[in-house]
């Protein structure tokens, strides 16, 4: 698909050209823009971006066009090679930036300035440019030069402190999937779209400074605001919210060995009534001594959550609700537990692996499986679908990730060599 075809395509961002300097820290932001129809031109050095060497690989064989990390993060982009260590390479990038709407980069502070490619000269040449920098600590931080990886961003930024197990002799955890980079990329995309809307009114571009460390810091929910408001420190707990006050376990293992999360135990009288009925249906009500408390819950006018631990009856009802869910879980599969509880109006979740979610009928029905053609392999592979279902200007993977230098000649011809 050529550039002009892209520009006439139907995505919400059709007509916008993005120059992305290949870097794992901004790759996800580029993908979010590209899948919405922006013409994203991914610039790599002649040796290729290092992320082409990130596993897992197609058939477990490494190779620059076989990285599944690369495949996932660079869909819908065109790829070109420019050697920014040489003047012709830098000149070509300046030319690209002069005609672009957005420049997206995640180089260490100073790297681009040394090459004359930082935002001051590029914005001077193209005042409509939205130039977005993603760095570990922002462009003006006292410790901006510290080295960072996804793990260190999440450790320094707060999420790791909150994730882990009740047993604090075990290390706190980070979740997989480069979520530390993703957090920064989400804020980058929000910033870029905000700046594009501003440009629509003013005609002016600007520079956006995104800090990964700051992004993690304000993506910690109560961890931050419990300290900001009450100066209390949340403590990690297995599979549930870190809290300044210990809470009851919420994960439990089902008969099939899979885990479920019971979330909030039942809170409404109607939910207690449904719970009793569910236990009766599967023959568990007889051997559950706390049924009497479930009955009390069902018969009350309301159950005040703030009275847990204060009012003995409310505490007992709430505890019995949790116990009942655990007993049911131990007797059914995770899927049966999820369906049974949800049909009783109780919000619970099954802890699915990514592939179990992907193959689940609900996600399939919502179009979360899309096929992407890899013509040189003569194969199509299934990818995850749209994170948001726009009906007009819809999300779409328009092509697989680019091979190294695949569109260099095409793009350089467009900008006039």
Partner 1 sequence: MTSTNPARPGALGRFRICDFTGQLAGAGATKWLAAFGAEVIRIEDPVTQGLWDILRPMGPFVDERRGPDFGGGFNNHNTEKYGITLNLRTARAKELLTEIVKRSDVVSENFAKGVLERWGFGYEQLRQIKPDIIYVSNCGFGHRGPYSDYKTWGPIVQAMSGLTFLSGRADEEPAGWGYSYMDHTGGMYMAIAILLALVHRERTGEGQWVDMSCTDSGLTLTGTSLLDYTVNGRPARRSGAPDSNHSTSPAMAPHAVYPCRGDDEWIAIACRDDADWGRLAQTIGADWAGDARHAALAGRMAAQEALDAQLADWTRPQEKWALARALQAAGVPAAAVAKPQERIDQDENTRAFGLWPTVTHAKIGQVRVDGLPVHLSKTDWQIERGAPCVGEHTDQVLRELLGLSGEEIAKLHAEGIV
Interaction residues for partner 1, span 279-298 (CB under 8 A) = none
> Closest CB to partner 1 among 91 and 170?
170
Taking the complex as a whole, how short is the minimal distance between the CB of residue 403 and partner 1, in angstroms? 16
Nearer to partner 1, 188 or 329 (CB): 188
Q: Of 284, 316, 351, 412, which lies in the binding site for partner 1, with binding defined by CB under 8 A? A: 351
Q: Is 191 in the site for partner 1 (CB under 8 A)?
A: yes
Tell which residue, 396, 351, 352, 397, has the closest CA to residue 374.
397
Please choose, out of 82-90, 103-111, 178-186, 404-412, the segment that lies near partner 1 by the rule CB under 8 A: 178-186
Applying CB under 8 A, among 9, 30, 79, 158 the residue interacting with partner 1 is 158
Stretch that binds partner 1, among 94-102, 221-229, 281-289, 311-319 (CB under 8 A): 221-229
Of these, 163, 295, 315, 333, which contacts partner 1 (CB under 8 A)?
163
Site for partner 1 in 60-79 (CB under 8 A): 60, 68-69, 71-73
Q: How far apart are CA 373 and CA 270, in angstroms?
A: 50
Q: Which of residues 88-107 bind partner 1 (CB under 8 A)?
A: none
- DSSP characters over 297-330: HHHSS---GGGTTTSHHHHHHHHHHHHHHHHHHH
| Close Cβ partners of 64 (under 8 Å, ≥ 6 residues apart) | 48, 52, 53, 403, 404
392: left (phi over 0), alpha (psi -120 to 50) or beta: beta
**Using the rule CB under 8 A, which residue among 124, 228, 301, 310 binds partner 1?**
228
Least distance (Å) between residue 25 CB and partner 1: 13
Region from 97-105, 109-117, 166-174, 295-303 binding partner 1, contact rule CB under 8 A: 166-174
**Closer CB to partner 1, residue 131 or residue 293?**
131
Bridge-based pairing state of the strands 102-105 and 130-135 = parallel
List the interface residues with partner 1, window 368-407 (CB under 8 A): 368, 381-393
Q: What DSSP element (H or E) covers 192?
A: helix 179-202
Distance between CA atoms of 21 and 136, rounded to whole angstroms?
16
Q: Tell me, residue by residue from 108 to 147, as one string, x for binding to partner 1 by CB under 8 A and - for no binding.
A: -----------------------------xx-xxxxx-xx
Angle between helix 87-98 and helix 408-415 axes, rounded to 10 deg: 60
Nearest distance from C-beta of residue 189 to partner 1, angstroms:
6
Q: How many CB atoms lie within 10 A of CB 5?
A: 10
In this structure, the number of other CB atoms found within 10 A of the CB of residue 127 comes to 11
Q: Are 138 and 208 in contact (CB under 8 A)?
A: no
Q: Is 15 in the site for partner 1 (CB under 8 A)?
A: yes
CB of 259 to partner 1, least distance (A): 6
Ramachandran angles phi, psi of 57, nearest 5°: -115, 155
Closest distance to partner 1 from the beta carbon of 274 (Å): 13
Say whether residue 51 binds partner 1 (CB under 8 A). yes
Given 128, 186, 268, 300, the residue binding partner 1 (CB under 8 A): 186
Identify the residue among 7, 90, 95, 224 touching partner 1 (CB under 8 A): 224
> Is position 311 an interface residue for partner 1 (rule: CB under 8 A)?
no
Q: Find the binder of partner 1 among 124, 301, 310, 365 (CB under 8 A).
A: 365
Contact 132, 102 (CB under 8 A): yes
What's the Cα-to-Cα distance from 126 to each of 97, 118, 207, 220, 381, rounded to whole Å?
A: 7, 12, 12, 37, 39
In this structure, how many other beta carbons lie within 10 angstroms of the beta carbon of residue 275? 27
Binding residues with partner 1: total (CB under 8 A): 153
* Residues composing the chain: 417
- Please pick, from the candidates 82, 156, 397, 411, the single residue that binds partner 1 as defined by CB under 8 A: 156
Interior CA angle at 153 toward 61 and 129, to 5°? 85
Structure tokens of 304? Answer: 């005040």
214 counts as binding partner 1 under rule CB under 8 A: yes
Q: Is 7 in the site for partner 1 (CB under 8 A)?
A: no
Choice from 26, 97, 160, 254 touching partner 1 (CB under 8 A)? 160
SS3 category, 77: coil
């Amino acid at each position: 698909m050529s550039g002009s075809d892209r520009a006439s395509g139907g995505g919400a961002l059709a007509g916008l050209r993005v120059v992305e300097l290949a870097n794992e820290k901004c790759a996800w932001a580029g993908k979010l823009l590209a899948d919405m129809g922006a013409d994203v031109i991914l610039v790599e050095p002649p040796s290729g971006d290092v992320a082409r060497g990130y596993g897992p690989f197609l058939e477990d064989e490494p190779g620059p066009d076989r990285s599944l990390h690369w495949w996932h993060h660079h869909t819908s982009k065109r790829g070109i090679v420019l050697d920014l260590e040489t003047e012709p390479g830098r000149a070509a990038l300046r030319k690209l930036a002069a005609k672009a709407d957005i420049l997206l980069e995640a180089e260490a502070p100073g790297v681009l300035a040394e090459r004359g490619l930082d935002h001051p000269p590029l914005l001077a040449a193209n005042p409509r440019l939205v130039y977005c920098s993603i760095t570990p600590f922002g462009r003006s931080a006292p410790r901006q030069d510290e080295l960072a990886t996804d793990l260190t961003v999440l450790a320094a930024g707060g999420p790791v402190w909150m994730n882990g197990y009740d047993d604090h002799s075990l290390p706190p955890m980070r979740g997989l999937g480069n979520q530390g980079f993703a957090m920064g990329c989400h804020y980058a995309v929000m910033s870029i779209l905000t700046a594009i809307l501003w440009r629509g009114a003013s005609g002016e571009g600007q520079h956006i400074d995104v800090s990964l460390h700051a992004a993690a810091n304000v993506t910690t929910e109560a961890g931050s605001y419990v300290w900001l408001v009450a100066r209390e420190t949340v403590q990690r707990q297995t599979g549930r919210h870190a809290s300044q006050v210990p809470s009851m376990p919420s994960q439990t293992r089902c008969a099939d060995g899979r885990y479920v999360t019971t979330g909030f135990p039942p809170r409404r009288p109607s939910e207690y009534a449904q719970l009793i009925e569910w236990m009766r249906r599967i023959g568990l009500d007889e051997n559950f001594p706390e049924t009497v408390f479930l009955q009390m819950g069902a018969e009350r006018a309301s159950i005040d959550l703030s009275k847990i631990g204060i009012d003995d009856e409310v505490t007992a009802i709430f505890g019995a609700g949790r116990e009942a869910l655990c007993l049911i879980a131990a007797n059914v599969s995770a899927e049966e537990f999820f369906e049974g509880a949800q049909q009783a109006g109780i919000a619970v979740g099954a802890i699915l692996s990514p592939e179990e979610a992907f193959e689940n009928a609900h996600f399939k029905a919502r179009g979360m499986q899309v096929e992407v053609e890899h013509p040189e392999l003569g194969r199509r592979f299934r990818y995850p679908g749209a994170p948001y279902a726009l009906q007009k200007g819809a999300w779409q993977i328009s092509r697989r990730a680019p091979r190294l230098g695949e569109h260099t000649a095409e793009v350089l011809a467009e900008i006039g060599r």
